[in-house]
Structure 1
Amino acid sequence: MILAGGLGTRLGERTRDTPKPLVTVAGRPFLDHLVGNLARFGFERVLLLGGYRGERIAGYCHDASRFGPILSCLLEPEPAGTGGALLQARDALDEEFLLLNGDSFFDLNLLDLALPGADETENGERPLARVALRRIADAGRYGTVELAGGRITAFAERPAGGGEAVINGGIYWMRRALLERIASTPCSLERDVLPGLAADGRLAGRCYDGAFIDIGIPEDLGRAQELLPRWTRRPAAFLDRDGVLNVDHGYVHHRGHFEWVEGAVDAIKLLNDRGYYVFLITNQSGVARGYYDEQAVRALHGWMGEAMRRRGAHLDDIRYCPYHPEGTVEAYRRPSDWRKPAPGMILDLMRHWPVEPAGSFVIGDTATDLQAAEAAGLPGHLFRGGSLLHRVREVLGGR
């Protein structure tokens, strides 16, 4: 869910007729940046909680299907506060859900925030919420957070004169049972709910060091115009599949035939955590040879995605080539510039995503993978087996 009901009064004329989350940033509504990022991590349903100029939020839902997730909107009939908006959405919530502030961008592995950790067993009780935290150099605009281990113990007022501190980054992984802490509306999640959870030991926090900006004041809105395009342009890791992510048993095409390579999912999560785009590029000549069809390829990739997300990892996009010049299925019997060693899959991904070539690389287990990398102008790294996590760390320089 995205909280999109604020007035945005500090932005003056910019929000006179426009809800703050729809203010244009880098040529697009700010919500585009948030919804597009959720799509990267595999979220399929997004609920916008609107208030001020709610009809504009509702209209945005109808126009934003291009991202992939199904968007819907719930408008509060009168101002209910951030906690009240959450309470009104009770019937739409899963048992666990992600909640984002609609006026801030925080670049982190959203799936990591959902993973159980040490905070799951402290005092025998699971936290009701986990907050993404950010250490910033000047916390003068924000309330601060006190953290002990994995638990938030208290919230404090803005430090006089600013200075370095840990702040609430405006992204939460929550359990629906938290709604029992909201007795009435209007209610502020930040002022009325979270401090009580912290006092009871039911609020966890994790610090991340990704890019962060809040567009609530004109100065930071101006900075976001330049920074967001820069932040979304990032290096990418292009990974072969058979022999790199999974053991190559020969024309692997269903989950019963699939075996993860040691450290494969952890390697992908490491790249996610470091802010890389992670792409899968795979020749699938088994389609052209009639061993299986494209639906089998897509089904296996869907299952892989679900398995990775449960462990805090994800692929940003996938390209596969079903063609082969010696195929037995006529529709697929032809050469293709997507088939490695040609670089077509890599180049297509670089056209569709804001990939920064500097720092990008390919990992494969054959010479054709490295030839495709060279043809695309990227370094290629050979994987000879063992732990993919270890190999990725080597490629990243041991980091």
Structure 2
Amino acid sequence: MVTNNKIKALFLDRDGTINVEKNYVFRVEDFEFTPGIFELLKGYQQKGFMLLVVTNQSGIARKYYTEDDFSDLNNWMIRQFQKQGIEITKVYHCPHHPEITGKCNCRKPEPGMILQAIQEFNIDPVNSVLIGDKKRDILAGQRAGIGKNLYIQNLLQTGLE
């Protein structure tokens, strides 16, 4: 494949990046969008980036909530973005936790979810961007060969820690 035919993508962590970090968010009433996230994503979308979410969801392995609970919240979140004119192409999630389900290659800082998306959508990692709130997000992006790996805290001046 010619590199020019490859897609550039914005990979986003969910908890702490798209929404305010609260432990194990799985209900709509607990989901609070990070201030400024809609504007940030609109900007990337206007620059031709495909928007993808890559999120660790160990609450599933811990049995705090189910795959269906995650899916319901995820579908609601995607609809909220659509109402703002923002299209999230796909959400990848890791339901594992190493102490419960064993080691996997998808739980960040492992790059499995990102590598899967790169293959699935013919993404050019070098011209892609990852935004997260934790070191494990940044490490996953680096391990997948993503060109820019940024902390949300450095992009949005909202006082988030």
> Do they fold alike, i.e. is TM over 0.5?
yes
Report the CA distance between 1:317 and its aligned residue.
1.1
Q: Which residue of 2 aligns with 1:303?
A: 76
Matched, 1:381 2:145: no
* Structure 1 residue corresponding to 2:25, chosen from 245, 248, 252: 252
- Which of 1 and 2 has higher RCO (CA within 8 Å, sep 6+)? 2
Q: Which residue of 1 aligns with 2:10?
A: 237
| Counterparts of 2:48 and 2:37, CA distance in 1 | 17
Larger radius of gyration: 1
1:307 maps to amino acid: Q
Q: How does 1:294-333 map to 2 (within 5 A)?
A: 294-327=67-100, 333=101
Determine the structure 1 residue equivalent to 2:129.
361
Q: Could you say which structure has the higher strand fraction? A: 1
Which aligned runs of 4 or more in structure 1 are off by greater than 3 angstroms?
none
- The CA distance in 2 between the partners of 1:307 and 1:322, in whole Å, is 23
The Cα of 1:345 is off from its aligned counterpart by 0.3
Among candidates 107, 111, 130, match of residue 343 of structure 1: 111
Q: Which shows bigger deviation, 263-272 or 275-284? A: 263-272
Letter of the structure 2 residue corresponding to residue 341 of structure 1: P
The alignment of Structure 1 onto Structure 2 pairs a total of residues equal to 156
Structure 1 unaligned segments of length 5 or more: list them: 1-225, 328-332, 390-399
AA in 1 matched with 2:68: Q
Superposition TM-score, scaled by structure 2 size: 0.89
Q: Is the 8 A contact 1:244 1:388 kept in 2?
A: no
Amino acid at match of 1:345: M
1:288 and 2:61 correspond: yes
Contact 2:126–2:145 at 8 Å: present in 1 too? no
Identity over aligned pairs, percent? 33
Residues 337 and 280 from structure 1, CA distance in 2 versus in 1: closer, same or farther, beyond 3 angstroms?
same
Cα 1:295–1:344 shift into 2, 3 Å: same
In structure 2, the gaps of 5 or more residues are none
Root-mean-square deviation (CA), in Å?
A: 2.1
Q: Distance in 1 between matches of 2:83 and 2:102?
A: 38
TM-fit CA distance, 1:341: 0.5
Query: Which whole-Å CA distance do the structure 2 matches of 1:300 and 1:288 have between them?
Result: 17
Is the helix fraction higher in 1 or 2? Answer: 2
Cα distance in 2 between the residues matched to 1:357 and 1:367: 19
